[in-house]
Amino acid sequence: MATLEIKGLHVEIEGKEILKGVDLTINTNEIHAIMGPNGTGKSTLAQAIMGHPRYEITSGSVTLDGEDVLEMEVDERANAGLFLAMQYPSEVAGVTNADFLRSAINAKREEGDEIPLMSFIRELDAKMDTLEMHEDMATRYLNEGFSGGEKKRNEILQLMMLKPKFAILDEIDSGLDIDALRIVSKGVNEMRGENFGCLIITHYQRLLDYITPDHVHVMMQGKVVKSGGPELAQKLEAEGYDWLQQELGIEAETAEQEA
Binding of ligand ADP at residue 42 (CB under 6 A)? yes
Window 227-256: residues binding ligand ADP (CB under 6 A): 256
Binding of Mg ion at residue 185 (CB under 5 A)? no
> Of 39, 60, 89, 197, which one interacts with ligand ADP (CB under 6 A)?
39
Segment near Mg ion (CB under 5 A); pick from 1-9, 37-45, 212-220, 222-230: 37-45
Binding of ligand ADP at residue 51 (CB under 6 A)? no
Window 69-88: residues binding ligand ADP (CB under 6 A): none
The answer to whether the CB of 63 falls within 8 A of the CB of 5 is yes
Binding of Mg ion at residue 40 (CB under 5 A)? no
SS (H, E, C) the chain: CCEEEEEEEEEEECCEEEEEEEEEEEECCCEEEEECCCCCCHHHHHHHHHCCCCEEEEEEEEEECCEEHHHCCHHHHHHHCEEEECCCCCCCCCCEHHHHHHHHHHHCCCCCCCCCHHHHHHHHHHHHHHCCCCHHHHCCECCCCCCHHHHHHHHHHHHHHHCCCEEEEECCCCCCCHHHHHHHHHHHHHHCECCEEEEEECCCCHHHHHCCCCEEEEEECCEEEEEECHHHHHHHHHHCCHHHHHHHCCCCCCCCCCC
Segment near ligand ADP (CB under 6 A); pick from 31-39, 61-69, 71-79, 138-146: 31-39
Nearer to Mg ion, 160 or 241 (CB): 241
Nearer to ligand ADP, 17 or 114 (CB): 17
**Regarding beta strands 215-220 and 223-228, do their DSSP bridges make them parallel or antiparallel, or are they unpaired?**
antiparallel
Q: Which residue is nearest to ligand ADP (CB)?
A: 259
Binding of Mg ion at residue 43 (CB under 5 A)? yes
Total site size for Mg ion, rule CB under 5 A = 2
Binding mask 201-240 for Mg ion (x = CB under 5 A): ----------------------------------------
Segment near ligand ADP (CB under 6 A); pick from 32-40, 108-116, 187-195, 235-243: 32-40
Which residue ranges make up the site for Mg ion (CB under 5 A)?
A: 42-43
